[in-house]
Amino acid sequence: MAFRFRIPNIGFRKRMSWSDFTVACIVGVLAGIYTFKPGLQQAKDEIERREALKEIQARRKAEMEQDRPTQTAWLSLFKRIVKNSNTRYSLLWLTGGLLFCLYASDKAVLSQFQLENGTLLGGPVEIPLTVNLRQLNSITNGLAQVQEGAAAVDNNEPVPYSFYIDEIEIKESLEKYFEEQANKQMFEKTLNIVCVPKARFQVIPVERCTATIEGHLEAITVLQFSPNGKLLASGSGDTTVRFWDLNTQTPFDEYGKAHRHWILCLSWAPNGKMVASSCKQGLIGLWIGATGKQHGTKLLSGHRQWINSLSWQPLHLNGSCRLLASGSKDTTIKIWDTHLFKTVFTLSGHTASVTCVKWGGQNLLYSASQDRTIKVWRTTDGVLCRTLEGHAHWVNTLALSTDYVIRTGAYEPSKERASDEYDHLDESTLQTLASERYEKVYKLFDTNGGERLVSGSDDFTLYLWKPETDKKPLARMTGHQQLINDVKFSPDTRLLASASFDKSIKLWSSRTGAFLSTLRGHVQAVYQIAWSADSRLLVSGSADSTLKVWNIEKRCLLFDLPGHADEIYAVDYSPDGQKVASGGKDKVLKLWRR
Amino acid sequence: MPQNEHIELHRKRHGRRFDHYEKQKKKEGRLPHILSKKAQTLRGIKAKLYNKRRQNEKIQMKKTIKSHEEKETKQRQEVPEGALPAYLLDREKQSRAKILSNTIKQKRKEKAGKWDVPIPKVKAVSEAEVFRVVQSGKRRKKAWKRLVTKPCFVGEGFTRKPPKYERFIRPMALRFTKAHVTHPELKATFQLPIIGVKKNPSSPLYTSLGVITKGTVLEVNVSELGMVTQGGKVVWGKYAQVTNHPENDGCINAVLLV
């Protein structure tokens, strides 16, 4: 780093006169020339650029109110320069630019940018108070570029960030932030600004119902999109599993007729090829997603009562999608081999019905039960690792922070790829792709990696666990006034949403379990929720027959989607974020798009 | 009536008559004729009683015949209506019509001041049962002291009054501190410490003394169960009602009032 100015005392700085300005220019240029002897030509370019900046600064001073036109010019210039020069120059430019900002403004603050898991982005920098979000974004992008080198940045697209100081978000500019936090010590020490990358793509919210498809003869109980979002499978009380073609919005001809009782649970294999469905008699059926035909001739039997939950082994652990776990009311969990149609392990230990099973990314199986405990099992040999106790009533749902990556497997929704590209890849390639995606999300909480588990229960509270290491919960989240039916982590794992029978949805921070806000609007119990792929939208289905789309950044209701005639039992957001499907007691399936 | 097993012993040692089984079969064959004759010739009250008994027997026979006639193999069962998703299966959902009537009923109850306890009516315990007279004085003529004969609860910092002035004696053997409390929904029983006696339905005197009989409402310490209120505070005291006769059993069984 060339040099770093420390402003020793707070308070107002006098405006720099033009002479001081030119002096500063020359000093900067000289420093540039001095440190980079061979690059004299480039230094001369810099002088020109600084002259240009000087003019822009002058304009800025003249029009204090209107920031935007000058700032965009400044920003575009900044960006162009950052991209063209090599990293050392961009760094110098950063410091130089900041210095000028500094001289031009009244107040400034020394701050240190860092990522969530603690890694620092460069050293401390001085930034003026009037800097707004877009400028902060460009600074962070530049710092990240410097950190990782030019090779790490792909597509040259800037990643949008959101900034937090002490867990409170910076909404418009640093000034506004400090106005609201009047009692905090501002200037004496270095501010730690935590930068959280947001999804690069933005999902357009769904607004209208594009299709109302009949086909089932009884209420639809479960719905799920395939991991690549191209296929949809639904199970209903008329014992059939139907597949729906989303382009023509009609059902397939073949549909699954092998079950004899209500379909309770449905799950797509992470490679998107097979579907497993379970019924109230405790049988599991396997179907091929593309055609709708049954895989094999018989149903997997073994459980003595109905099956509450199904979970496939993640793709990054085994590319062939072979193992499936099922939790049933007869208090046992069975791991099945779907190629051989046999039970591999039977895990017993619970004393009451098992309500939810989740296969974690580290080959651990988490099971929640009505006996108020959550048990962690090792799937390689079927041994119980630990029991997580704490709830006072039935545990209804579980959610893992890596849920979204495990569900989508090798498919990356933000990258536009040909739809059949994944079909040609073989199992090992798919497995490596999936494990790359998984590792990224796994390292988000700590640099060593860690999964987080959230459990929602009938005792109106949620617990946040670190199930791989601790028996004690990290946080207990209270506030709901009725039992909690559904919990989901956002795909970027920052937020948690919980839906409860008290007609509200609560948002929590997944790092600390702190309560963020309540989303009210439904008039009856909220049954299911689903996050969009960019974590900016949440869709919820309730017993009052409406779906609601919520804007998470502003924490308010975006769209109300009425149209169903009776209670909505199942809602799903497609992993590419384009469609929402909902089904319920009125036997019709509705597809919603923009 | 044989007083000993000599008949069975004889049968084991010597066996039965040679034609025993044949005779038994023939007797059974004659039975319908005898029964029908009986049914036709009986008169009066005996006839009525016999007819009633016979009717019940015939109903049972018809049921067994029908079950024998049903096929052994499982038929394809009719799929019941009212399909529910997995998360609603163990929950009883009230029909919407019922909810309205329930709210009205609850409002009426609140006005009347009647509260829902599992055992609403309890036989009142008389004073003669609860107290035994203890005579005092030089000539054992004074009879103003009473000894409590039922289990009771005294608080933690309890110290007796000076024995000379003590009117009600609560013996240490009959003092209980813990109760076995059952959660009605979870069907699990926990041993929880008693915080106090809230109300004894027989008499307010018993409430103030802390006498525990069947139907008494106690306050128990439920911090072990880990329940939490809406505001996030931990619930540590709840009411429970005693369901057994603790003086007979030696322990206090109660059901939690949720």
Q: Tell me how close the Cα of A415 comes to any Cα of chain B, in angstroms.
A: 35
CATH of A208-593, one of 3.20.20.70, 3.10.580.10, 2.130.10.10, 3.30.2130.10: 2.130.10.10
Phi/psi at A27 (5° precision): -60, -45
Q: Which of B89, B227, B232 sits opposite A392 (nearest CB)?
A: B227
pTM comes to: 0.62
Higher pLDDT residue, B219 or A212?
B219
Pairing label, strands A547-551, A354-359: unpaired
Q: Which amino acid is at A285?
A: G
Number of A to B CB contacts under 8 A, please give it.
77
Q: Are A284 and A277 in contact (CB under 8 A)?
A: yes
Closest CA to A455 of A427, A500, A487, A428: A487
The pLDDT value given to residue A366: 95
Q: Are A354 and A366 in contact (CB under 8 A)?
A: no
Asked if B186 lies within 8 A of A393 by C-beta distance, the reply is yes
Phi/psi at A53 (5° precision): -65, -40
SS3 of A93, please? helix
Cβ neighbors of B71 (< 8 A, separation 6 or more) are none
Q: Is A257 on the interface with B (CB under 8 A)?
A: no
Distance CA A550, CA A170 (A): 21
Q: Is A353 on the interface with B (CB under 8 A)?
A: yes
Dihedral angle of Cα A281, A285, A291, A292, to the nearest 10 degrees: 0
A49-58: b (≥16 Cβ within 10 Å) or e: bbeebbebbe
Q: Is B165 on the interface with A (CB under 8 A)?
A: no
| H or E stretch covering A18 | helix A18-35
Asked if A261 lies within 8 A of B79 by C-beta distance, the reply is yes
Asked if B228 lies within 8 A of A261 by C-beta distance, the reply is no
Closest CA to A215 of A193, A198, A190, A240: A240
Q: Tell me how close the Cα of A478 comes to any Cα of chain B, in angstroms.
A: 5
What domain range is B135 assigned to?
A: 127-256
Distance between first and last Cα of chain B: 56
Q: Which residues in chain B touch residue A486, judged by CB atoms under 8 angstroms apart?
A: 87
Q: How many residues does the structure list for chain B?
A: 258
Q: Which residues in chain B touch residue A485, judged by CB atoms under 8 angstroms apart?
A: 87
Mean pLDDT for the stretch of residues B244-256: 94
Distance between first and last Cα of chain A: 49
Scanning every residue of chain A, which has its alpha carbon at the shortest distance from the alpha carbon of B187?
Answer: A371
Closest CA to A324 of A274, A257, A362, A368: A274
Q: Which amino acid is at B144?
A: W
Mutate to test the interface with B, among A455, A569, A586 (most CBs of B within 10 A): A569
Q: Is B78 on the interface with A (CB under 8 A)?
A: no
Q: Tell me how close the Cα of B235 comes to any Cα of chain A, in angstroms.
A: 11
Q: Tell me how close the Cα of A277 comes to any Cα of chain B, in angstroms.
A: 12
User: What residues form DSSP beta bridges with A499?
Assistant: A486, A505
Q: How confident is the model at residue B114 (pLDDT cuts 50, 70, 90)?
A: low
Asked if B85 lies within 8 A of A221 by C-beta distance, the reply is yes
Point out the least confidently predicted range of A371-375, B64-68, B172-176. Answer: B64-68
Evaluate whether residue B94 is within a structural domain.
Answer: no
Q: Which of A236, A265, A459 sits opposite B228 (nearest CB)?
A: A459
Closest CA to A45 of A95, A93, A109, A104: A93
Higher pLDDT residue, B93 or B37?
B37
| Domain ranges within chain A, ordered by starting residue | 108-197, 208-593
Distance CA B221, CA B189 (A): 14
Distance CA A496, CA A506 (A): 8
Asked if A264 lies within 8 A of B77 by C-beta distance, the reply is no
Q: Which CATH number goes with the domain that contains B244?
A: 2.40.10.310
Asked if A461 lies within 8 A of B77 by C-beta distance, the reply is no
Asked if B84 lies within 8 A of A222 by C-beta distance, the reply is no
Distance CA A424, CA A535 (A): 30
Closest CA to A124 of A134, A114, A138, A135: A114
Mutate to test the interface with A, among B89, B96, B225, B227 (most CBs of A within 10 A): B89
Q: Which of A237, A353, A478 sits opposite B83 (nearest CB)?
A: A237
Mutate to test the interface with B, among A278, A279, A280 (most CBs of B within 10 A): A280
Asked if A308 lies within 8 A of B77 by C-beta distance, the reply is no
Q: Which amino acid is at A196?
A: V
Q: Is A262 on the interface with B (CB under 8 A)?
A: yes
Asked if B228 lies within 8 A of A476 by C-beta distance, the reply is yes
Distance CA A482, CA A484 (A): 6
Q: Is A265 on the interface with B (CB under 8 A)?
A: yes
Asked if B225 lies within 8 A of A309 by C-beta distance, the reply is no
One pLDDT digit (tens) per residue for chain A, 594 residues: 444 444 444 444 455 566 666 776 777 677 665 665 555 566 567 777 777 677 777 676 666 545 444 455 566 665 665 565 555 555 565 665 555 555 555 677 778 888 777 777 777 888 777 777 778 788 888 877 777 664 444 555 677 787 877 767 777 777 777 777 665 555 567 777 777 777 777 777 778 888 888 888 899 999 999 988 888 999 999 888 999 888 888 888 767 788 889 999 999 999 888 999 999 999 999 999 888 888 888 889 999 999 999 999 999 988 888 999 999 999 999 999 999 999 999 999 999 999 999 999 889 999 999 999 999 999 999 999 999 999 999 999 999 999 999 998 888 877 666 556 677 778 888 888 888 888 888 887 777 778 899 999 999 999 999 998 889 999 999 999 999 999 999 998 889 999 999 999 999 998 888 999 999 998 889 999 999 988 889 999 998 888 999 999 889 999 888 888 888 999 999 988 888 999 999 899 999 987
The pLDDT value given to residue A151: 44
The CATH fold of domain A108-197 = Ubiquitin-like (UB roll) (3.10.20)
Q: Which of A261, A265, A479 sits opposite B86 (nearest CB)?
A: A265
User: What residues form DSSP beta bridges with A300?
Assistant: A284
Asked if B85 lies within 8 A of A527 by C-beta distance, the reply is yes
Asked if A238 lies within 8 A of B79 by C-beta distance, the reply is yes
Q: How many domains does chain B contain in total?
A: 1
Pairing label, strands A241-245, A307-312: unpaired
Asked if A260 lies within 8 A of B85 by C-beta distance, the reply is no
Distance CA A353, CA B226 (A): 21
Distance of CA B47 to the CA centre of its chain: 39
Q: Is A405 on the interface with B (CB under 8 A)?
A: no
Q: Which of B82, B85, B225 sits opposite A570 (nearest CB)?
A: B85
Distance CA A559, CA A455 (A): 28
Q: Are A492 and A159 in contact (CB under 8 A)?
A: no
Order the strands of the A547-551 sheet from edge to edge: A526-531, A537-542, A547-551, A556-561
Q: Is A236 on the interface with B (CB under 8 A)?
A: yes
Q: Which residues in chain B touch residue A396, judged by CB atoms under 8 angstroms apart?
A: 87
- In this structure, the number of other CB atoms found within 10 A of the CB of residue A185 comes to 8
The residue whose two tokens read 């240190």 is: A112
Query: Is residue B171's pLDDT more than 60?
Result: yes
Asked if A238 lies within 8 A of B227 by C-beta distance, the reply is no
Give DSSP secondary structure letters for A280-301: TTS-EEEEETTT-PBSSSS-B-
Cβ neighbors of B21 (< 8 A, separation 6 or more) are none
Q: Tell me how close the Cα of A387 comes to any Cα of chain B, in angstroms.
A: 17
ipTM of the complex: 0.71
Distance CA A482, CA A498 (A): 11
Locate A370 and state its tokens. Answer: 């009505």
Q: Is B75 on the interface with A (CB under 8 A)?
A: no
Q: Which residues in chain A touch residue B228, judged by CB atoms under 8 angstroms apart?
A: 392, 459-461, 476, 478
Evaluate whether residue B177 is within a structural domain.
Answer: yes
Asked if A218 lies within 8 A of B87 by C-beta distance, the reply is no
Q: How confident is the model at residue B214 (pLDDT cuts 50, 70, 90)?
A: very high
Closest CA to A271 of A491, A422, A438: A422
Q: Is B157 on the interface with A (CB under 8 A)?
A: no
Cβ neighbors of A128 (< 8 A, separation 6 or more) are A101, A102, A104, A105, A106, A107, A108, A109, A174
Q: Is A246 on the interface with B (CB under 8 A)?
A: no
Cβ neighbors of A156 (< 8 A, separation 6 or more) are A83
Helix and strand totals (H; E) in chain A: 9, 36
Mutate to test the interface with B, among A222, A284, A393 (most CBs of B within 10 A): A393
DSSP letter, residue B85: -
Query: Helix crossing, A18-35 with A40-62: angle to 10°?
Result: 160
Q: Which of A222, A478, A569 sits opposite B232 (nearest CB)?
A: A478
Q: Tell me how close the Cα of B209 comes to any Cα of chain A, in angstroms.
A: 33
Closest CA to A295 of A338, A242, A350, A337: A338
Q: Tell me how close the Cα of B184 comes to any Cα of chain A, in angstroms.
A: 12
Scanning every residue of chain A, which has its alpha carbon at the shortest distance from the alpha carbon of B232?
Answer: A478
Strands (E), A200-331: 208-213, 220-225, 231-236, 241-245, 250-251, 263-268, 274-279, 284-288, 307-312, 323-328
Query: Is residue B199's pLDDT more than 60?
Result: yes
Distance CA B62, CA B91 (A): 37
Distance CA A293, CA A291 (A): 6
Strands (E), chain B: 131-136, 142-148, 168-169, 178-183, 188-199, 217-221, 237-242, 253-256
Q: Is A289 on the interface with B (CB under 8 A)?
A: no
The pLDDT value given to residue A157: 65
Scanning every residue of chain A, which has its alpha carbon at the shortest distance from the alpha carbon of B185?
Answer: A393
